[in-house]
Amino acid sequence: MTDASDPLTDDEKRREELLRAGGSTEADAAPRIETSEHDGVTRIDIAETAAVRPGPGPGTPEADSPPPRDAADEAAADDVTDADDSGDRADR
């Protein structure tokens, strides 16, 4: 812990907040994301060491099958098919 006169960094504030809860452990405060910057663009990735990851877990039916299509997906697919069948393409 730092001296009360020293301002905490963002990482230290995050750690302190996550460890404040009853029953919390150091693993609760472990970083879950990794950031990198390339050509002025910041990329945020889920850390390989993250205990909790977004989405369904491996081995669950949701993770092993494609996402369900909704009405908007069906309409978009129909539009693409209709455009391909229109005969307006120059390469035909």
Give the residue with greater pLDDT, 58 vs 12: 12
Res 17 pLDDT > 90: yes
Output the pTM of the full model: 0.42
Average pLDDT, integer, range 68-92: 62
Q: What percent of the chain has pLDDT over 90?
A: 28
Phi, psi of 27 (to 5 degrees): -60, -30
* H helical segments located in 1-92: 10-20, 61-64, 71-84
Q: Please check whether residue 46 is in contact with residue 33, taking contact to mean a CB–CB distance below 8 angstroms.
A: yes
pLDDT tens digits for 22-57?
Answer: 999 988 888 888 999 999 999 999 888 887 777 777
Cβ contacts of residue 63 below 8 Å, gap of 6+? 55, 56, 57
